Amino acid sequence: MLEPLSQRECIDRLGIGCVGRVGLVADGVPHVLPVNYASEATGLVVFRTMQGTLLSTVAGQRVVFEVDGFDRNHAMGWSVCVHGTAHEDSVPTASAARSLADRSLITWAPGPRDRWFTIEPDEITGRRVALSGDLSDLDGWIQGVVS
């Protein structure tokens, strides 16, 4: 059964993740790119990238950020989307930026990540889905989900 998440549940789930995806349009082509991130209680999302990447072009653009997860014990999946505008933060001042820096996150891609961006949320939505059937026999892969 598909069920909407409350605003509080969406923000709570944003806070437990560390890898999400930024959806953007560059030169008329849609892209979805993974990022390490942190978030604040307002739903503001912070990520960093390097000069010359597609992500470094998002300042001033409307974007979407998505994070999801799976709770094997409860056979429940969830997804949260943050729709908003991306802003470059030349001096990362948001508490989420400090949190991201303090975590010493290892980024997926090599190289310095010295360009900081925030996504100021206009809308935050989420949903959860309870999976049906017995999952006790499954180890590792659950159709479409890595556990």
Determine the residue type at 38.
A
Q: Three-state DSSP class for 36?
A: strand
Torsion of CA 61, 66, 67, 73, to 10 degrees: 170
Tell me which residue of 72, 66, 55, 88 sits closest to 14, measured CA to CA. Answer: 66
Per-residue confidence (pLDDT) for residue 73, from 0 to 100:
80
Does the structure show a pLDDT above 60 at 39?
yes
Per-residue pLDDT reduced to its tens digit, 123-136: 999 999 987 665 55
Sequence-distant (6+) residues with CB within 8 A of 111 are 50
Tokens 């891609």 sit at which residue? Answer: 109
Domain range summary for the chain, segments of one domain joined by +: 2-134
Dig out the tokens for 75 from the structure: 């056979």
Per-residue confidence (pLDDT) for residue 106, from 0 to 100:
58
Q: Three-state DSSP class for 141?
A: strand
Split at pLDDT 50, 70, 90, the class of 139 is low
Per-residue pLDDT reduced to its tens digit, 82-122: 999 999 986 556 565 566 566 555 566 677 788 889 899 99
Does the structure show a pLDDT above 60 at 77?
yes
Per-residue confidence (pLDDT) for residue 101, from 0 to 100:
60
Share of the chain above pLDDT 70, in %: 76
Does the structure show a pLDDT above 60 at 146?
no
Split at pLDDT 50, 70, 90, the class of 76 is confident
Does the structure show a pLDDT above 50 at 147?
no
- List % helix, strand, coil for the chain (3-state, nearest 5): 20, 50, 35
Does the structure show a pLDDT above 60 at 13?
yes
CATH 2.30.110.10 fits 2-134, yes or no: yes
